[in-house]
């Protein structure tokens, strides 16, 4: 990977639209797909979703927890899914939500971002409760590998609201502070940021969140990649993207999982294709 992640993501948007297909082998979905609730079932599930999304959507997002639950066998299954995705034109976001400090975070970078790692992905989700600066080494590793990071900012779970809307000494909310920190980090790495040249560090903003309540101005996100879960089963509609994200709509990865995966093995390819076309239509 030589080009910066932000540029590769932008190029993929132009070719395949802005749908992000979640790979979430929930035990109940494995059952509905006729697969065993095991690492092998999760492996087969992931491979079929990769096949359905390749050439249709720009990004797949495996939820690491649904593989990790099976221990070492689960990680081997995930490695196979990641390897299959790398053989296509898909970009892969490992939804691992790692967050720590110092050498621990650096080691997470080695696991998920190093080009020699069997777990390597194009981007990974991360938490910054200890402050984005604590992840400096992780972000450097990402950029040196041409990879990206999506930092949790405003999440859709109601338990997060009190913390994420808390006011910092700067007068900004915690969530808005993370958005600001990500922007400044991207700006320090590339002074030519623009809508056509987005940064490689993005933010996670739930599509079911009222961003204004969190103090987030979408106009500040026009050069920041946005991973937006919550479409489909969680209630947000593809038709809402422009209303929710305004000027930043062109940077949004419209993430859907269960609403696509519930179509089953026979219907998932059509569900992904239809959703990708609908998202592109809503953003046209």
CA gap 14, 7 in Å, rounded: 11
CA gap 143, 20 in Å, rounded: 21
Catalytic residue among 26, 76, 86, 97: 97
37 SS3 class: coil
| C-alpha torsion sign, points 57, 236, 97, 131 | positive
Q: Which residues of 163-186 are buried (b: 16+ CB within 10 A; e: fewer)?
A: ebeeeeeeebbbbbbbbbbbbebb
Q: Which residues contact 72 (CB under 8 A, 6 or more apart)?
A: none
The verdict on whether 97 is a catalytic residue reads yes
Active site residues: 97
């Amino acid at each position: 990977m030589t080009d910066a992640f932000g540029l590769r993501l932008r190029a993929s948007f132009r070719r395949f639209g802005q749908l992000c297909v979640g790979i979430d082998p929930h035990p109940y979905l494995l059952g509905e797909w006729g697969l065993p609730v095991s690492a092998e079932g999760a492996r087969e599930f992931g491979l079929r979703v990769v096949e359905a999304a390749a050439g249709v959507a720009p990004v797949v997002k495996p939820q690491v927890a649904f593989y990790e639950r099976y221990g070492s066998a689960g990680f081997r299954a995930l490695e196979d899914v990641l390897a299959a995705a790398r053989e296509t034109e898909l970009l892969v976001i490992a939804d691992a939500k790692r967050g720590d400090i110092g050498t621990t975070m650096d080691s997470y970078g080695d696991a998920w971002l190093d080009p020699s790692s069997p777990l390597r992905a194009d981007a990974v989700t991360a938490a910054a409760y200890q402050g984005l600066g604590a992840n400096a080494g992780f972000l450097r590793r990402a950029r040196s590998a041409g990879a990206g990071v999506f930092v949790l900012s405003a999440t859709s779970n109601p338990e997060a609201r009190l913390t994420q809307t808390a006011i910092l000494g700067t007068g900004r909310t915690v969530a808005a502070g993370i958005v600001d920190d990500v922007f400044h980090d991207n700006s320090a790495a590339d002074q030519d940021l623009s809508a056509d040249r987005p940064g490689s560090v993005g933010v996670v903003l739930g599509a079911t969140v009222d961003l204004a309540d969190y103090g987030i101005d979408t106009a500040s996100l026009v050069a920041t990649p946005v991973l937006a879960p919550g479409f489909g089963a969680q209630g947000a509609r593809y038709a809402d993207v422009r209303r929710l994200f305004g000027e930043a709509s062109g940077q949004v990865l419209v993430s859907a999982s269960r609403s696509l995966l519930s179509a089953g093995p026979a219907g998932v390819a059509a569900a992904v294709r239809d959703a990708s076309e609908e998202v592109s239509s809503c953003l046209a």
